[in-house]
Chains A and B, each alone.
Chain A
Amino acid sequence: AQSVAQPEDQVNVAEGNPLTVKCTYSVSGNPYLFWYVQYPNRGLQFLLKYITGDNLVKGSYGFEAEFNKSQTSFHLKKPSALVSDSALYFCAVRRWAAGGGNKLTFGTGTQLKVEL
């Protein structure tokens, strides 16, 4: 079974400061990890993914994520937060399973609030 934990329900940060949204995962074998963002009353927007290779992954809108295999973590980061980054962020792990498809398993989400 695969699972994702996002330990913080909400993260508050001042505009211009760096932000980190935490994610840890549990999966057998090599993990395929994703970050998505959701704005109010909208679907999920893909930000970035880790499949293999460099542990630092760069994505959309200046976001990046660091894969740490020993700590089973995949934290989302941005050097300088914007008010427009305020949204709900989901970490997800993907793993193929016979009969289970190539499904994404999501965390519970972290609400990011960036204040002036």
Chain B
Amino acid sequence: DAGVTQSPTHLIKTRGQHVTLRCSPISGHKSVSWYQQVLGQGPQFIFQYYEKEERGRGNFPDRFSARQFPNYSSELNVNALLLGDSALYLCASSLQLRGQRDTQYFGPGTRLTVL
């Protein structure tokens, strides 16, 4: 079975632009989460979606938004890009929202560089 897929793999943008990152979860998984990993740090939680609704939000500005589609795929949008948004953006999927034994499985990430 295919794992979590993300597109694009790499992206270069300039300050002020906006970007859309895409994620397809593992088949059968209904929850998608987004994380930002800045170089040298652990991933930081941005959003969690389940059944097309936002179920959790991390400490990120309103420039960051996301949505989940009926097929459970998801998009992360970032507006008015700043240099500090340069990072690896990771998508993770899980079967449920709050399953005690649930595990989040990560995709390969999208490397965003803001110039």
Which residues does A use to contact B, with CB under 8 Å?
A: 4, 32, 34, 36, 41-46, 49, 51-52, 90, 92, 94, 96-97, 99-109
Contacts and interface: CB of A to CB of B under 8 A. Distances in A.
Interface of B: 4, 6, 31, 33, 35, 40-45, 47-48, 55-58, 90, 92, 94, 97-98, 100-109, 111
Max chain B C-beta neighbours (<10 A), residue from A51, A90, A104, A107? A104
Contacts of A34: 103
A45 B103 CA distance: 11
A100 B109 contact: no
Given A43-B106, A43-B107, A101 B42 contact: no
Contacts, number: 76
A94 B35 CA distance: 14
A44 B43 contact: yes
Contacts of B41: 108-109
Contacts of A4: 42
Max chain A C-beta neighbours (<10 A), residue from B41, B42, B45? B42
Contact of A43 (B40, B56, B90): B90
Nearest to A96: B98
Given A36-B106, A42-B108, A43-B90, A102 B98 contact: yes
A106 B48 contact: no
A101 B90 contact: no
Contacts of B35: 104
B45 A103 contact: yes
Given A51-B101, A90-B43, A105-B45, 15 more contacts: A43-B4, A44-B43, A52-B100, A100-B56, A100-B58, A101-B47, A101-B55, A102-B48, A102-B56, A102-B98, A103-B45, A104-B45, A106-B43, A106-B44, A108-B41
A101 B108 contact: no
Contacts of B104: 46, 94, 104
A96 B7 CA distance: 28
A4 B43 CA distance: 12
Nearest to B96: A102
B7 to A, nearest CB: 13
Contacts of B4: 43
